[in-house]
Amino acid sequence: MAGGYGRGAGIPLKDRVRVDQPTEPAQQPMSAAGSEHPGRHCWVSVPVDASHPRPGLLLEWRRAGHLWEGRVVYVAQLRPGRWTTVEEWIPAELLTTE
Protein backbone atom coordinates (compact mmCIF):
# COMPACT_ATOMS: atom_id res chain seq x y z
CA MET A 1 0.00 0.00 0.00
CA ALA A 2 1.52 3.33 -1.05
CA GLY A 3 2.01 6.12 1.48
CA GLY A 4 0.82 5.84 5.06
CA TYR A 5 3.01 4.51 7.84
CA GLY A 6 4.67 1.68 5.92
CA ARG A 7 5.65 -1.05 8.36
CA GLY A 8 4.98 1.19 11.37
CA ALA A 9 7.64 3.88 10.97
CA GLY A 10 8.41 3.48 14.68
CA ILE A 11 5.00 4.83 15.73
CA PRO A 12 3.17 2.59 18.25
CA LEU A 13 -0.13 1.25 16.90
CA LYS A 14 -2.06 2.91 19.74
CA ASP A 15 -0.79 6.33 18.59
CA ARG A 16 -1.87 5.96 14.95
CA VAL A 17 -5.59 6.52 15.54
CA ARG A 18 -7.34 9.46 17.15
CA VAL A 19 -8.90 8.57 20.51
CA ASP A 20 -11.83 10.32 22.22
CA GLN A 21 -9.68 11.99 24.90
CA PRO A 22 -6.10 12.39 23.68
CA THR A 23 -3.57 12.83 26.47
CA GLU A 24 -1.40 15.14 24.38
CA PRO A 25 -2.88 16.43 21.11
CA ALA A 26 0.62 17.08 19.70
CA GLN A 27 1.29 13.31 19.68
CA GLN A 28 -1.78 12.47 17.58
CA PRO A 29 -0.91 12.11 13.85
CA MET A 30 -3.11 13.99 11.42
CA SER A 31 -4.77 11.87 8.76
CA ALA A 32 -4.82 12.81 5.10
CA ALA A 33 -8.58 13.40 5.35
CA GLY A 34 -8.32 15.53 8.50
CA SER A 35 -9.93 14.74 11.83
CA GLU A 36 -13.55 14.41 10.70
CA HIS A 37 -13.45 10.60 11.09
CA PRO A 38 -11.47 8.21 13.29
CA GLY A 39 -11.42 5.18 10.96
CA ARG A 40 -8.14 3.69 9.75
CA HIS A 41 -7.29 0.73 7.54
CA CYS A 42 -5.82 -2.26 9.37
CA TRP A 43 -5.15 -5.97 8.97
CA VAL A 44 -6.74 -8.53 11.30
CA SER A 45 -4.15 -11.32 11.61
CA VAL A 46 -6.61 -13.89 13.04
CA PRO A 47 -10.16 -13.24 11.79
CA VAL A 48 -13.07 -15.03 13.43
CA ASP A 49 -13.39 -17.45 10.49
CA ALA A 50 -9.74 -18.50 11.09
CA SER A 51 -8.62 -17.87 7.52
CA HIS A 52 -5.76 -15.72 6.26
CA PRO A 53 -5.26 -12.13 7.52
CA ARG A 54 -8.09 -9.90 6.41
CA PRO A 55 -8.38 -6.13 5.83
CA GLY A 56 -10.53 -4.25 8.30
CA LEU A 57 -11.54 -0.81 9.48
CA LEU A 58 -10.13 0.21 12.86
CA LEU A 59 -12.72 2.47 14.52
CA GLU A 60 -11.36 3.17 18.01
CA TRP A 61 -9.04 2.07 20.80
CA ARG A 62 -9.66 1.21 24.41
CA ARG A 63 -7.43 0.24 27.27
CA ALA A 64 -7.99 -3.28 28.70
CA GLY A 65 -5.89 -3.38 31.85
CA HIS A 66 -2.34 -2.66 30.71
CA LEU A 67 -3.03 -3.73 27.09
CA TRP A 68 -4.80 -2.03 24.17
CA GLU A 69 -7.71 -3.34 22.08
CA GLY A 70 -9.05 -1.99 18.81
CA ARG A 71 -12.71 -2.03 17.73
CA VAL A 72 -12.57 -3.36 14.18
CA VAL A 73 -15.13 -4.08 11.45
CA TYR A 74 -14.27 -6.64 8.76
CA VAL A 75 -15.93 -9.36 6.67
CA ALA A 76 -15.85 -13.07 7.51
CA GLN A 77 -17.11 -16.12 5.67
CA LEU A 78 -20.27 -17.36 7.41
CA ARG A 79 -20.76 -20.37 5.14
CA PRO A 80 -19.15 -21.28 1.79
CA GLY A 81 -19.91 -18.38 -0.51
CA ARG A 82 -21.78 -16.41 2.20
CA TRP A 83 -20.13 -13.45 3.92
CA THR A 84 -21.11 -11.28 6.86
CA THR A 85 -19.68 -8.28 8.67
CA VAL A 86 -18.04 -8.72 12.06
CA GLU A 87 -17.44 -6.00 14.62
CA GLU A 88 -15.27 -6.94 17.59
CA TRP A 89 -12.67 -5.75 20.05
CA ILE A 90 -9.34 -7.29 19.05
CA PRO A 91 -6.08 -7.23 21.04
CA ALA A 92 -3.61 -4.74 19.51
CA GLU A 93 -1.01 -7.46 18.92
CA LEU A 94 -3.40 -9.08 16.38
CA LEU A 95 -3.74 -5.84 14.37
CA THR A 96 -1.30 -4.31 11.93
CA THR A 97 -1.41 -1.32 9.61
CA GLU A 98 0.43 -0.88 6.33
Average pLDDT, consecutive stretches of 10 residues, N- to C-terminus, the chain (98 residues): 54 64 40 61 91 91 92 93 94 88
Domain that holds residue 77: 13-22+36-96
- Given this model, what pLDDT does residue 38 score? 72
Indicate whether 61 belongs to any domain: yes
Give 59: exposed, middle or buried? Use CB within 10 Å, 0-12, 13-18, 19+: middle
Tally of domains within the chain: 1
Indicate whether 86 belongs to any domain: yes
- Given this model, what pLDDT does residue 35 score? 58
